[in-house]
């Protein structure tokens, strides 16, 4: 039987991961009915695309979306799962004090999980949309 993870458990994993803790990700909420997880990433100068722009580098946005997509599945499976494939569309520049990523599970079967993730800036502007395929086998 699989043990699902709650907000506190996911936050602990985030805080203990060298990469994720550097990103300072914060779990805002989990909605098990709508199959959603919401995570906030604050602005850091190390994330800046070009000096003086205050724009998040697309690589950081990509990492945020992949991590949140992963944890949408990981929450249900009880631990971190591997990414199989991932694509992203950058819609608008990500500029602001933070980004909010919301992941929604679209499909979860024994061999694959599919998740859609949207990233919005602090003004609510849609910055990027990603879709990931994840192996629901704990990795």
pTM: 0.93
- Structural domain contains residue 51: yes
pLDDT band at 2 (very low <50, low <70, confident <90, very high): low
| Within a domain: 1 | no
Residue 64 lies in a domain: yes
Structural domain tally of the chain?
1
Task: Read off the tokens for 102.
Answer: 């919301």
Answer whether residue 2 is part of any domain: no
Instruction: Establish if 16 belongs to a structural domain.
Output: yes
Q: Tell me the residue range of the domain where 60 lies.
A: 7-134
pLDDT tens-place string over residues 32-44:
888 899 999 999 9
Residue 66, in any domain of the structure: yes
Q: Give Cβ neighbours of residue 36 (< 8 Å, ≥ 6 apart).
A: 29, 30, 72, 102, 103, 104, 105
On whether residue 139 sits in a domain, the answer given is no
Q: Can you give the CATH number for the domain in which 78 is found?
A: 3.10.129.10
Q: What tens digit of pLDDT does each residue of 78-114 get?
A: 878 899 999 999 999 999 999 999 999 999 998 999 9
**Has residue 111 been placed in a domain?**
yes
């Amino acid at each position: 039987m699989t043990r699902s993870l709650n907000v506190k458990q996911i936050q602990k994993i985030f805080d203990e991961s060298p990469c994720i803790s550097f990103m300072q990700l914060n779990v805002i909420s989990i909605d098990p009915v709508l199959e959603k997880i919401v995570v906030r990433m604050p602005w850091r100068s190390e994330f800046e695309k070009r000096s003086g722009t205050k724009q998040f580098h697309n690589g950081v946005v990509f990492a945020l979306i992949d991590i949140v997509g992963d944890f949408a599945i990981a929450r249900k499976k009880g631990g971190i799962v591997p990414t199989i494939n991932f694509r992203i569309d950058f819609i608008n520049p990500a500029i602001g004090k933070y980004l909010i990523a919301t992941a929604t599970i679209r499909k979860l079967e024994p061999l694959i999980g599919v998740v859609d993730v949207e990233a919005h800036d602090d003004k609510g502007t849609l910055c990027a949309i990603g879709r990931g395929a994840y192996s629901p086998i704990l990795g």
